[in-house]
Copies of this chain bind each other. A is one copy, B any other.
């Protein structure tokens, strides 16, 4: 049994990608339905039929973003040969992702913190969960390093993860404020200067 009814006349994935770019650049509230339909090349009824609502479209756009940059950062962390290398790759790769030409600066999920007001509670929770998961991934990597003996058992993986996630989120803001890749890279390296002190002293 194939699909019934008139087939969709546009590429759903492509339309979603264009919506993501708009949401990423301008945030949820500042992106209007007119801008969305114009960028996606479809009319409002088609958008609602395919995605349900502006809010649901945003959630799908967010999921698409995470499948891209989110997974990319997760892989950098997972494949790094050491905990230190994982953190450094996380920050340095973030610097690169935040300054790609042709894409909005900074992290879509992080920069949506402020847009919280205006989105539905459902979307707000999804965003918060996404941000919390990023820190959980870092923290899990550090905890694993403690188990393997790479890091001393006295180090506080929660606090260290919290610090580096904060730096990365700050980099998102700087990127939005026009910071270049070299500048963000220098910030990442500066944050790495804290590594020895953080992993040796009790935290």
> Residues of A at under 8 Å CB distance from B?
25-27, 29-30, 110-111, 113-118, 128, 131, 159-160, 162-163, 165-174, 176-177, 183, 186-187, 190-194, 196-198, 201, 203
Contact = CB atoms under 8 A, between A and B. Distances in A.
Given A173-B169, A190-B198, A193-B194, A114 B115 contact: yes
B187 A193 contact: no
Contacts of A167: 166-167, 170, 191
Copies of this chain in its oligomeric complex: 2
Given A193-B197, A194-B191, A174 B169 contact: yes
- Among A25, A113, A165, the one with the most B-chain Cβ atoms within 10 Å of its Cβ is A113
A196 B111 CA distance: 31
State the 3 A-B residue pairs at the shortest beta-carbon distance, nearest first.
A170-B170, A193-B197, A194-B194
Nearest to A110: B173
A151 B186 CA distance: 19
